[in-house]
Amino acid sequence: MQTKNKHSKDLFTEKSHHMIELFFEFAQLKNLYRQGWLKRGVSKVDCETVADHAFGVALMAYILAEEYRSDLDSQKVMLLALFHEIGEIYTGDITPVDGVSLEDKSAREYDSVQKVFSHLPRPAKYVNIWLEYEKQETAEAKFVEQIDRLEMALQANLYERLDYKNLDEFFEHAQRRITLPELKPILEELLKTR
């Protein structure tokens, strides 16, 4: 297991209010380390969690949408960013080197998202927020996906500043994936500081 604590199911009873259960499920993301960093030698002491990552993406996505993309619904952008990692609550942080196909990863995460919201009165409402990001069919979802890559490059740069090595692949991935004209200059400037 990739978390520090017991799984959320161990922390409540069947009689718990559904919002208590939901909190304990979300709390798992605070203890789920981003596996790509651990696999590249970042210590758990310094390692970003999935919750850290989602917060960073949401904050950056909202501010960048407000400042540079008046054509986007910045509230929706922030919502998609907050929800984009919910599928990892039960699947863990599956990385490209784990040997799991994108289709299988998506199916596992979809099952996880359905499980997380299943006890709410309107689960489909919340599952659909995650699905909008996953399907990448809206301008807001595509924007958040690129912010997700930018946050990864920023985090890699932070780790390099902490003297972690061999993180080139994260910058290369960001360079391939970030295409939006309002984000490219940020990435280019970041790369100059390496």
Residue 124 in domain: yes
In a domain, 139, yes or no: yes
Neighbouring C-beta atoms of residue 173, cutoff 10 Å: 16
In a domain, 125, yes or no: yes
CA torsion sign, 156 to 161 to 166 to 171?
positive
The CATH number for 186's domain is 1.10.3210.10
Arithmetic mean of pLDDT over the chain: 93
Per-residue pLDDT tens over the stretch 54-90: 999 999 999 999 999 999 999 999 999 999 999 999 9
Q: Determine the average pLDDT of the residues in 183-187.
A: 97
Cβ density class 94-122: b for 16+ within 10 Å, e for less:
beeeeeeeeeebbebbbebbbebbeeeee
Is 7 inside a domain boundary?
A: no
Residue 1: inside a domain: no
Q: Please write the tens of the pLDDT for every residue from 12-24.
A: 555 678 899 999 9
How far is Cα 50 from Cα 37, in angstroms, rounded to an integer? 11
Convert the pLDDT of each residue in 94-125 to its tens digit: 998 999 999 999 999 999 999 999 999 999 99
Asked if residue 59 is part of any domain, the answer here is yes
- Show the CA angle centred on residue 82, arms to residues 84 and 10, nearest 5°: 85
Residue 157's domain comprises 16-192
5 assigned to some structural domain: no
Distance CA(151)–CA(134), nearest Å, equals: 18
Residue 2 lies in a domain: no
* Number of domains comprising the chain: 1
